[in-house]
Amino acid sequence: MAAVRNIFTDVRVQQVLEQTARWRKVVRQQDITLVKHGSTVGDALCKLSAAEVLSAPIIRHFGTDDAASEKLGRQDHKRYAVIGCADVNSILLALLQAIDDEDATIFLHTRESMTCAETNDLALKLNTVADTFFRKPIMDISPSDDGGVLYTSDLQANLLTLVSDIFLYPKNKSRSVHRLAVFDQNGEVCNMLSQSDVLRYIYLHRDKLYALAFETVERLHLATSPVATAYSSLPTVLAFKRLFDEEVSALAIVDEGDGHLIGNLSVSDLRGISPAVFGCLALPIAEFWKRKCDEGIFRERLPGGSHATTHSDKSKEVDAKENVEYHELPSSFHASCENISIHPLTCTPDSSLESVMRMIVENQIHRVYVIDNGYKPVGVVTITDILWALSGHTEECNAYDKFEAPPDEAPSAAAYSGPVVDSGLK
């Protein structure tokens, strides 16, 4: 077998998991978040919001009901089953369907550019539907297929099996699994493993890719899918509806005049969102970004104000009109702030695989847009795309021999890269 494939056949899942644990210790990532199967949609979302994660396993304890389980310490109920995955993506999709079922005219009458009054009215309608929706049991939401499980016996499988048979199963990039819950011998979830973790491992050991690391995005056919776009004046809720309708993971936000790439919108923009502020999705994308960056809207009630009183925080009801303070922004709006999807990282068709991986790993993002000479998006490279190619699912990367180079002759990937994310690894 070609030497470049050794990183997939010789590396065990346990090695990736151990490196991931060390990396999480460095970045002080929080403990694993679990959602009980008796939770409401609102309570599940509040738990995701508090942990600032996009998904968490839904668990059911063996031999106990929810009331009893609440009174038991962690050591008293060491065994449970993961019966699903609560994630913001599925919750938002179900909410959009609930809105459509409640009043099909909401989306029909929502224009791509609205006045302040129309925006505030839409926010009130969103909150009205959301109040009922968030009281539903989380198990009433169609289960997400974005999660999976690993057991102790799986940890000696090689990386190729992990990527090809689990993350990319059933060999469909558009429906791939992005994260896995790892069970220990006591039947408890002891860790989480994601596609991002796998790519980080590959990047930190990129010398094993040899010449393949320096092949271009274009030659490897990493960005052949068309890019879904939207203008920054589009109401955010419509943008997410378009995202689901077109079955893409993100929208490239472009300037209405010249088509330049100015931002990226994905479910990651909803990290930390709580039921109290779902009305903010009525805002134009540009205003949504600005308020999230400048005002921390996910920790306030804006606009529309009310939310279901069944949630754990049980905030007091506030007159919705007092919370609506939307003002239009100029079409040329630009902003830059930490942890916000404005000014996305980009590459060109001539960029190397190594440089794209570096941007993704060092910035902890999920995609890099490919732009032309006019700064217009012509493609997008995702973590799934890279794993799909490297695991041999494309003819370009499957012909490993043409990218092989003896270790003493191969270019050093480290010589071309920035600082290593996990400085504790050699």
Tell me the two tokens of residue 246.
Answer: 């077109």
Q: What CATH homologous superfamily does 3-88+138-205 map to?
A: CBS-domain (3.10.580.10)
Q: What is the pLDDT of residue 112?
A: 75
What order do you get walking across the sheet with 189-194 strand by strand? 147-150, 179-183, 189-194
Task: Provide the sign of the torsion angle of the four alpha carbons 79, 82, 173, 357, taken in this order.
Answer: negative
- The region of weakest confidence among 207-216, 308-317, 370-379 is 308-317
Within a 13 Å sphere around the CA of 322, how many CA atoms are in the beta-carbon half?
A: 4
Q: What is the pLDDT of residue 185?
A: 80
Q: What is the pLDDT of residue 351?
A: 97
Q: What is the pLDDT of residue 35?
A: 92
- The region of weakest confidence among 79-88, 137-146, 244-253, 390-399 is 390-399
Mean pLDDT across the chain: 76
Angle between helices 88-102 and 116-133 (to 10 degrees): 110
| Predicted TM-score of the model (pTM) | 0.78
Q: What is the pLDDT of residue 200?
A: 95
Q: pLDDT, tens digit, for every residue of 95-146?
A: 999 988 887 677 766 777 788 888 888 888 888 888 899 999 999 987 666 6
How many whole angstroms separate alpha carbon 173 and alpha carbon 385? 7
How many whole angstroms separate alpha carbon 277 and alpha carbon 127? 8
pLDDT at 348 over 90: yes
Q: With cut-offs at 50, 70 and 90, classify the pLDDT of residue 21.
A: confident
Q: With cut-offs at 50, 70 and 90, classify the pLDDT of residue 296.
A: low
pLDDT at 302 over 50: no
Q: What percent of the chain has pLDDT over 90?
A: 35
Q: With cut-offs at 50, 70 and 90, classify the pLDDT of residue 187.
A: confident
> How many residues are present in the chain?
426
pLDDT at 28 over 70: no
Number of H helices, E strands in the chain: 14, 12
Q: pLDDT, tens digit, for every residue of 44-58?
A: 999 998 888 888 889
Q: pLDDT, tens digit, for every residue of 355-389?
A: 999 999 999 999 999 999 999 999 999 999 999 88
In the chain, the amino acid numbered 26 is V
CB atoms within 10 A of CB 31: 7
Tell me the two tokens of residue 397.
Answer: 């990367």
CB within 8 A of 105, min separation 6: which ones? none
- The region of weakest confidence among 214-228, 298-312, 345-359 is 298-312
Q: What is the pLDDT of residue 226?
A: 73
Tell me the β-bridge partners of 235: 284
Q: What is the pLDDT of residue 385?
A: 92
How many whole angstroms separate alpha carbon 199 and alpha carbon 20? 11
Q: pLDDT, tens digit, for every residue of 319-328?
A: 333 343 443 4
How many whole angstroms separate alpha carbon 194 and alpha carbon 179? 4
- 28 exposure class (CB count in 10 Å sphere: 0-12, 13-18, 19+): exposed
Q: What is the pLDDT of residue 365?
A: 92
pLDDT at 318 over 50: no
Question: What average pLDDT score do residues 172-191 get?
Answer: 78
- 204 exposure class (CB count in 10 Å sphere: 0-12, 13-18, 19+): buried
- 163 exposure class (CB count in 10 Å sphere: 0-12, 13-18, 19+): buried
Kindly report the backbone phi and psi dihedral angles of residue 195, in degrees, each rounded to the nearest multiple of 5, phi listed first.
-60, -35
Q: Which residues of 302-312 are buried (b: 16+ CB within 10 A; e: fewer)?
A: bbbbbbbeebe
End-to-end CA distance of the chain: 25
Q: With cut-offs at 50, 70 and 90, classify the pLDDT of residue 393.
A: low
| Ramachandran assignment for 74, one of left (phi > 0), alpha (psi -120 to 50 degrees), beta (any other) | alpha
Higher-pLDDT residue of 383 and 307 is: 383
Q: Is 257 helix (H, G, I), strand (E, B) or coil?
A: coil
Higher-pLDDT residue of 226 and 126 is: 126
Q: What is the pLDDT of residue 251?
A: 96
Question: What average pLDDT score do residues 381-405 get?
Answer: 70
pLDDT at 261 over 90: yes
Q: What is the pLDDT of residue 392?
A: 79
Q: With cut-offs at 50, 70 and 90, classify the pLDDT of residue 173.
A: low
Q: What is the pLDDT of residue 357?
A: 97
Q: Is 31 helix (H, G, I), strand (E, B) or coil?
A: coil
